[in-house]
Structure 1
Amino acid sequence: MTDDGVAYSYQEAMRRGVPLQEPDGTLIYPTTRSRPKPTFTLDPLDRALMAISVAVPVMLTVFVAAQIPMMDQQVPVHFSWDGTVNRYGSPWEGFWTAAGVTVMIIGIAVLAKYPRVFNNPVELNSSNVQQQYKNAVQMLTWLNLAMAIMAVGMMGLWFEPLWFPLVWVGLALMGVSMVFFIRRLFMLR
């Protein structure tokens, strides 16, 4: 055991919460505490997508809350896969669902600020850690965008049935982006 801030055995690294130094000099980060702080920056597109994916549902939730007093007592609150209404309820029931989705979107945006705490399925080491952080944050950015598109589609249905395809667009974007970023995660080893 030394005081140079690294460990030379896995057990010591786990116990002390410091990086494990391999014989070739590579640092492996077995614990969240041992991981370095993120130093990467997202490109302007990813930053804009994250901002939009948070701002739009928040504004739409506020708009819907302002519209509730003018809505009918019973509004569509559940839809089948083809967009037909199969249950009506209070506008507040739908509002709280929309507000919950908006809170989840905000939560994901906050979580994206802390990539050190992510549970990574690949070993993080000195040669890949920043790339893995960035990939994970980009994945959350696109997940948030997909959820925001679905939220717009869900809330828009109260005013116009033409909004329903956005739910499918959001689901498709979510699936495609998850496959893309998870595949890239394993390629960045």
Structure 2
Amino acid sequence: MFNSDRPKISIKKLKKSVFEQLLSIVSILLFIGSVVFLVVMWSELPVQVPGHFGITGEVTRYGSRWELVVLLIVGAGLYLLMHVLEKYPHLHNYPIEITESNAEEAYRISRSLIVYIKNIILILFALMMINSMIIALGWGEVIGFVLLPLVFLGTGLPIIRAIVKLMKLNS
């Protein structure tokens, strides 16, 4: 189950690219900014805030403003879980056989995928919180109609890219 027979490579050898480092900084700052925005605006928020959006971005359900805190906790929790998972690429699931000769590059591709996904998730949770708060405060609509495409593109494209790279590595 945990593929303990796979080669183990020091995570220090699998350095993050400059883009990955920049993405991490931007996502963390945006998330912290959304938390600060939530704390500052908490007393101004109505009891009911948008809790769900339809495919076209329209609000389909309202819920307690505490749901924004749930978004915060889930987003941070997913980020932390994936941050830990990123450190153990030999435990990841691969569509190819991992050998001594391809392990380092396969692990780099997989670790990079986890970095992209965890940061995109953090950005999406921050944007969902901000969007719900802006609508609840009556300031307009910001990203409701583009949120679903952002989810699919932001998570789907890095996965496809990683699979293609891994398949090329296997050939």
Q: What is the CA distance between 1:68 and its match in structure 2? A: 2.1
Query: Which string of whole-angstrom CA distances, capped at 9 and with x for unpartnered residues, describes residues 119-174 of structure 1?
Result: 22321112110000100011112212322332232112121411322452242121
- Specify which of 45, 49, 67 is matched with residue 41 of structure 2: 67
C-alpha distance in structure 1 between counterparts of 2:33 and 2:7, whole Å? 36
C-alpha distance in structure 1 between counterparts of 2:67 and 2:154, whole Å? 27
Aligned length: 160
Match for residue 66 of structure 2?
Answer: 92
Look up the equivalent residue of 1:32 and give its one-letter code: S
Residue 80 of structure 2 corresponds to residue 109 of structure 1: no
Look up the equivalent residue of 2:114 and give its one-letter code: L
CA RMSD of superposed structures (Å): 2.2
Match for residue 176 of structure 1?
Answer: 157
TM norm structure 1:
0.74
> Aligned in 2, Cα 1:153/1:181: closer, same or farther, shift over 3 Å?
same
Identity percentage of aligned residues? 22
C-alpha distance in structure 1 between counterparts of 2:29 and 2:5, whole Å? 32
Q: What is the CA distance between 1:33 and its match in structure 2? A: 5.2
Residue 159 of structure 2 corresponds to residue 185 of structure 1: no
Look up the equivalent residue of 1:143 and give its one-letter code: I
Match for residue 7 of structure 2?
Answer: 35
Query: Which string of whole-angstrom CA distances, capped at 9 and with x for unpartnered residues, describes residues 23-66 of structure 1?
Result: xxxxxxx9325522232322211122134334432442343244
Structure (1/2) with the larger helix percentage: 2
C-alpha distance in structure 1 between counterparts of 2:29 and 2:90, whole Å? 25
C-alpha distance in structure 2 between counterparts of 1:132 and 1:36, whole Å? 12
Query: Which string of whole-angstrom CA distances, capped at 9 and with x for unpartnered residues, describes residues 65-94 of structure 1?
Result: 442232111111111111111111110023
TM norm structure 2:
0.80
C-alpha distance in structure 2 between counterparts of 1:184 and 1:126, whole Å? 17
Greater length-normalized contact order (CA 8 Å, ≥ 6 residues apart): 2
**Runs of 5+ unmatched residues, structure 1:** 1-29
Structure 1 moving runs of 4+ over 4 Å: none
